[in-house]
Structure 1
Amino acid sequence: MTLDLAFTTHDVANTRFAVSPLGEVVASVRVVKNPRAHPLLRPWADQVRRRLRDVDWRLLSDLVPVPTISIAGFTCTPPATSMPDLDLELATMRGAAGRVRSDLEEIPGPRTKHVRALYDRPEEGLERLAKEVEGYWEAAMAPYWPRVRSLLEGEILHRARLLAEGGIQRMLADLDDTVTWRDGTLRIKHRFVSGVRTLRGLGLLLVPCVFASPRVFSVTTPPYQPTVRYPPRGIATLWERREVEPPEALAAVLGRTRARLLAELDQPAHTRDLAQRAGLSEPGVNQHLTALRRAGLCTAHRTGRYVLYARTAAAEALLAPHAVKPGTT
């Protein structure tokens, strides 16, 4: 089965990216409930399942059945801003009481007692759901969020570069193995949906989502903005604890700390993430990154409240002849 998303010139102009903490929570429920189906994410699931024993997330669990055919739209409304935090997305969800019943009526199958209670009293039910998401987040997501967010922001930066190099066709060409672009249409191999959908002039919202792996999820039903959630590159590296050793010759020229930071930028990252990985203070990392930036070895790109650093072509050339091998600790 294939789902075809037909673009107009207005849709191309309005296509954008966003990160969704709430979307990651909802998608991750599938992983906790069936870790065997998600080999790249199983190390995370094995770690968090014990922590979740003391968390009440029964309603959240019932709203994300496994196998997952569809999920009610109000649980993770497509974000209106590019970098929302969890509080903002939960505020949006709490305000969606008017859509709860219509969204649930589109979901096939019987309702559990917790979902029936939500259907009968949407405002109370959404408040309970928000509290459950907050507890789930603290136990299962918050400890990993800095590295997940860095990966997502790096993916968006990568897509922005592809867009600059070759337009929307270049950007979408390798989005996922199940996605192809041809003649103004994005075609998605889909398990449960087929047909042609227009984007209604709203453009497409692209949301890289770690816990969507290995699937691509789509939203095409009004009133929501058409959305595609897809797995970003590099998910397998998220759960590794790495010690990156820079080439000795480069360390002799730049100093070991700056060479180490440059080697760590195999994926774009922000200061806090780099400080945690390298065992340094954030102010110290900032000083080193400023020096590397002035030397033309890294660039800085603001994404929301954060500045994301990436290696330049000159830095890649310095590192390319050497094997910068991450090891597992």
Structure 2
Amino acid sequence: MIRLHLDAADLRRITLAPAPNALFEAALSVRGLRTGTTAQGRARPAVDQWRRWVNGSLDERAGVLLDLVPPDGYLPDFLLQPSAGDFATAVDLAGRTPSELLVKDLRIADLPGLDGGPVAPSRWSRELAAGSAAARHTLMDDLRRYFTSSIAPLWPQVRTDATADRVLRAEMMLRGGVDALLTTLSLTWLWDPPTLHLPSRSSYDIPLCGRGLLLMPSWFATGPMIMYRPEESTVLAYPMHLPDAPAGPPEVLGPLLGRTRAAVLAGVRDPATTTALAQRVGVSLATASQHATVLRNAGLVRTTRIGIAVLHSLTPLGRALLDGEPPALLG
């Protein structure tokens, strides 16, 4: 368990990143292709479709990124560059990372062979750690090539999904303050003021020391990713909420529940506030609230109150109904 400790100054300095980080997403996508994992631990049509499109060509697409991106754990910090406004700037900053930071980042990432690792590192990774100009140029060229071939066609969708996620976070902040924002970042994270508990195989504490927290939505992240910056706010990347294609469309469940109520049930496949649910289904706030209440009373939806706002999500029974599982499994 990772524990982020926020004092009063930290709580005043929580900010939302204006957009996903293209360099970071590219690095995480390489990990996803290597391990076959999906964000938030469940299959999503968009991610699976993208993976099928690039499957079988990772080696030729990723180049030296395969030497930098471990199957799990931390990524080198220079592959994030949170201050960069676009991919080109991020690549330039990564290529100009001071040699002493490169060595530190590569060791933190457990690059094979460094610090007594079990496998000899590649010649290129040794040259990069030594500050070779040629190795830096190779890194920048391969980053650009991989992004152009593998991520650029997907990027408009990533930005659209990130915008929707940002709207959700802003709404929670407006309706319930910082407590609501931190409580709803992930269903598996625990906000127990003044500490945010994040699931991890490691156990350690990170005091933010009044420098705040930068929240960064990620399309490819499978869990929390942290970048500690001694003189700036700590970066916390979290898996953004992505819409799923309804497994049980209103046309199928409509005769049983009614078309609008079936649409409301499908609308909470991803957790949603009442306002967000109304927007997804295209009904009034009052109508969304009424149908959510009926579904909650039927055991298909659970509602969690956070301050003055509520968050609706599916119960196991509701998800089974949407997924069309056999009646025996629904009982």
Q: TM-score, normalised by structure 1?
A: 0.66
Q: 2:29 maps to what in 1?
A: 28
Letter in 2 for 1:65: P
Question: What's the counterpart of residue 177 of structure 2?
Answer: 167
Letter in 1 for 2:96: G
Q: Which residue matches 1:248?
A: none
Match for residue 64 of structure 1?
A: 69
Q: Give the counterpart of 2:136 among 126, 138, 155.
A: 126
Q: CA–CA distance in 1 between the matches of 2:69 and 2:148?
A: 19
In 1, are the aligned partners of 2:228 and 2:234 still within 8 Å (CA)? yes
Q: CA RMSD in A?
A: 3.3
SS at structure 2 position matched to 1:212: coil
Query: Is 2:54 the counterpart of 1:48?
Result: yes
Matches within 5 A, 1:78-227: 79-80=82-83, 84-98=85-99, 99-108=101-110, 109-110=112-113, 111-192=121-202, 194-213=203-222, 215-220=223-228, 222=230, 225-227=233-235
- Determine helix, strand or coil for the equivalent of 1:70: coil
Q: Distance in 2 between matches of 1:49 and 1:115?
A: 25
Amino acid at match of 2:220: F
Instruction: Kindly indicate whether the alpha-carbon contact (under 8 Å) linking 1:219 and 1:225 is maintained by their aligned counterparts in 2.
Output: no
Measure how far apart 1:94 and its partner are: 2.2
Whether the aligned pair in 1 keeps the contact of 2:6 and 2:207 (CA below 8 Å) is yes
Relative distance call for 1:312 and 1:175 in structure 2 (3 A) is: closer
Partner of 2:13: 14
**Structure 2 unaligned residues grouped into runs of 5+:** 114-120, 252-266, 268-277, 292-331
Greater alpha carbon shift after TM alignment, 158-167 vs 91-100? 91-100
* In 2: Cα distance, 1:60 partner to 1:223 partner: 28
CA distance in 1: counterparts of 2:133 and 2:243, whole angstroms: 36
State the TM-score, normalized to the length of structure 2. 0.66
Mapped to 2, the partners of 1:207 and 1:126 lie a distance apart of 26
What letter is aligned with 1:45? Answer: R
What is the CA distance between 1:236 and its match in structure 2? Answer: 3.9
Q: Distance in 2 between matches of 1:59 and 1:311?
A: 44
AA partner of residue 97 (structure 2): A
Q: Quick one: which of 234, 237, 255 aligns to 2:242? A: 234
Q: Using the alignment, how far apart are the partners of 2:160 and 2:179 within structure 1?
A: 25
Residue identity matched to 2:98: A
Look up the equivalent residue of 1:220 and give its one-letter code.
Answer: Y
Q: Contact 1:217–1:229 (CA<8 Å) still a contact in 2? A: yes
SS of the counterpart of 1:71?
coil
In structure 2, the CA distance between the partners of 1:118 and 1:164, relative to structure 1 (3 Å rule), is same
CA drift of 1:23 comes to 1.1
Identity %: 24
